[in-house]
Amino acid sequence: MFVGLLWVSAPKKSAGNSSPQVASAQAISGSLSAEETSFDFGTVSMKNGKVNHVFKIKNDTDSTAVVSKLFTSCMCTTASISVNGTKKGPFGMPGHGSIPRIDQELSAGDEAEVEVIFDPTAHGPAGVGKIERVVSVEQKNGSTLQLNIRALVTP
């Protein structure tokens, strides 16, 4: 009886139906790019504290792009976005605080700066060694621009 209940309540697949998310993503245009999508801090000493890097992103399309969210892959990293002198953030890792929708528009040809701050002390003494972190710039059209940082953390 239990197996029958599971079978009846399982979602049905229908041929030829496309996901509504795909349709809405195609209706919204605009996409971001960055000349530099990866940055290596080299050797970072815990005793010297936080380090930062600014990535420049651009809307190279003919239409408006919308950054819906900005978040990081680890609690040791935060990111902020600045467009035309207006800064939003810092934003961190999902699950370690709220990641609100920011819905920041970038008109065709507009540029923005994404400042990434890495705190080598966030993981304590066990946090030494190579690190790789990702900053995700989630767009309303469903695409995500990923910006990567690396470092070798020493005491």
Coil/strand/helix, residue 84? coil
Q: pLDDT at residue 4 above 90?
A: no
- Which CATH number is 29-149 given? 2.60.40.10
The pLDDT-based confidence of 134 (bands split at 50, 70, 90) is very high
Cα–Cα distance, 84 to 111 (Å, whole number): 8
- Span 17-32, pLDDT tens digits: 333 333 222 223 358 9
Spell out the domain ranges in the chain.
29-149
Mean pLDDT is lowest, of 69-73, 91-95, 96-100, 124-128, for: 96-100
How far apart are alpha carbons 83 and 74 in whole angstroms? 24
Q: CA quadruple 28, 34, 38, 42: dihedral positive or negative?
A: negative
If one compares 95 and 122, the residue with the highest pLDDT of the two is 122
Beta bridge pairs of residue 70:
137
